[in-house]
Amino acid sequence: MRDFKENSPEKEPKIKAWIDLPSFTPWLVLILSLFATFIGWYIIRENQVSQEKARFEAEVFEHVLAIKHRMESYEQVLLAGVAFVDASNTVDRGEWRTFANNLHVQGLFPGTLGYGYAIFVPHEKVVAHEALMQAEGFPGYRIHPIDENLTPSAIIFLEPLNDRNKKAIGYNMFKEPNRLAAMTRAIETGNAALSGRVTLVQENKGPVQAGTLMYLPVYQKGALLKTVEDRRAAIIGFVYAPLRMGDLMQGVLGKYEHFIDLHIFDGESTAEADLMYDSDGIIVHDKTPEFHQQKVVEISGRKWNLVFKNSENFTATVDTSKQWLIAIGGILVSLLLFGFVRELALLQNRAVALARQMTSDLLASESQANAVLETALDGIITISEQGLIQSFNPAAETLFGYPTDEVLGQNVNMLMPEPYSSNHDGYLFNFLNTGHRKIIGSGREVIGRRKDGSTFPMKLAVSQDKANQRFVGIVSDITAEKTADAQKELFVSTVSHELRTPITAISGMLKLLLGVFASQLPPKAIEMLQKADNNCNRLIRLINDILDMEKIAAGKMPFHMKVYDLVKLTQQAIEDNQGYADKAGITLMFQKTLPERAFAVIDSDRFAQLMANLISNAVKFSPKDQPVEISLSVLGGDIRIGVQDHGPGIPEDFHDKIFQRFAQADKGDTRKPGGTGLGLAICQMIVEKFAGKINFQTAMAVGTTFFVTLPATESSADPLA
Partner 1 sequence: MRELKKILYAEDEPDIRSVAEMALEMVGEFTLKSCENGQEAVNAVADFQPDLILLDVMMPVMTGPSALLAIRKIPGFEHTPVVFMTAKVQPQEIAEYKKMGVLEVIPKPFDPMALAGNLRRVWEKHNG
Residues in touch with partner 1 (CB under 8 A): 493, 496-497, 500-505, 507-509, 511-512, 515-516, 536, 540, 558, 605
Cβ closest to partner 1, residue 397 vs residue 550: 550
Cβ closest to partner 1, residue 375 vs residue 504: 504
Residue ranges in 88-209 assigned as alpha helix (H): 93-103, 105-108, 126-136, 163-166, 177-189
User: Cβ of residue 500: shortest distance to partner 1, in angstroms?
Assistant: 4
User: Cβ of residue 541: shortest distance to partner 1, in angstroms?
Assistant: 10
Residue ranges in 377-519 assigned as alpha helix (H): 394-400, 404-407, 420-434, 479-516
Give the C-alpha separation, 93 to 100, whole Å. Answer: 10
Helix (H) or strand (E) holding 543: helix 523-553
Give the C-alpha separation, 237 to 157, whole Å. Answer: 11
Cβ closest to partner 1, residue 273 vs residue 516: 516
User: Cβ of residue 498: shortest distance to partner 1, in angstroms?
Assistant: 8
Angle, CA of 551, 553 and 554, to the nearest 5°: 65
Cβ closest to partner 1, residue 181 vs residue 539: 539
User: Cβ of residue 365: shortest distance to partner 1, in angstroms?
Assistant: 49
Cβ closest to partner 1, residue 9 vs residue 508: 508
Cβ closest to partner 1, residue 172 vs residue 616: 616
Cβ closest to partner 1, residue 333 vs residue 543: 543
User: Cβ of residue 605: shortest distance to partner 1, in angstroms?
Assistant: 8
User: Cβ of residue 359: shortest distance to partner 1, in angstroms?
Assistant: 58
Cβ closest to partner 1, residue 498 vs residue 527: 498
User: Cβ of residue 516: shortest distance to partner 1, in angstroms?
Assistant: 5
For 590-594, the CB contacts below 8 A with 24+ separation are 590/630, 590/632, 591/629, 591/630, 591/631, 591/632, 591/633, 594/567, 594/632
Cβ closest to partner 1, residue 422 vs residue 504: 504
Residue 28's CB is within 10 A of a number of other CB atoms, namely 13
Q: What is the DSSP string of 631-676?
A: EEEEETTEEEEEEEE-SS---GGGGGGTTSTT--S--STTPPTT--
Give the C-alpha separation, 668 to 703, whole Å. Answer: 19
User: Cβ of residue 686: shortest distance to partner 1, in angstroms?
Assistant: 15
272 CB-side CA count, 13 A: 5
User: Cβ of residue 416: shortest distance to partner 1, in angstroms?
Assistant: 24
Give the C-alpha separation, 643 to 679, whole Å. Answer: 14
User: Cβ of residue 685: shortest distance to partner 1, in angstroms?
Assistant: 17
Cβ closest to partner 1, residue 512 vs residue 717: 512
Nearest-CA neighbor of 621 among 706, 517, 497, 719?
706
Cβ closest to partner 1, residue 465 vs residue 576: 576
Cβ closest to partner 1, residue 243 vs residue 682: 682
User: Cβ of residue 612: shortest distance to partner 1, in angstroms?
Assistant: 15
Give the C-alpha separation, 460 to 440, whole Å. Answer: 9
φ, ψ of residue 162 in degrees (nearest 5): -90, 180
Cβ closest to partner 1, residue 53 vs residue 562: 562
Quick check: 542 and 678 in contact, CB under 8 A? yes
The region, left, alpha or beta by phi > 0 then psi within -120 to 50, assigned to residue 207 is beta
User: Cβ of residue 662: shortest distance to partner 1, in angstroms?
Assistant: 22
Cβ closest to partner 1, residue 461 vs residue 503: 503
User: Cβ of residue 504: shortest distance to partner 1, in angstroms?
Assistant: 4
User: Cβ of residue 567: shortest distance to partner 1, in angstroms?
Assistant: 25
Three-state SS sequence of 558-601:
CCCCEEEEHHHHHHHHHHHHHHHHHHHCCCEEECCCCCCCCEEE
For 502-508, the CB contacts below 8 A with 24+ separation are 503/536, 503/539, 503/540, 503/543, 506/536, 507/533, 507/536, 507/537, 507/540
For 449-453, the CB contacts below 8 A with 24+ separation are 449/400, 449/414, 449/415, 449/416, 449/417, 449/421, 450/399, 450/400, 450/401, 451/400, 451/401, 451/402, 451/406, 452/401
Quick check: 153 and 119 in contact, CB under 8 A? yes
Q: What is the DSSP string of 52-105?
A: HHHHHHHHHHHHHHHHHHHHHHHHHHHHHHHHHHHH-S---HHHHHHHHHHHTH
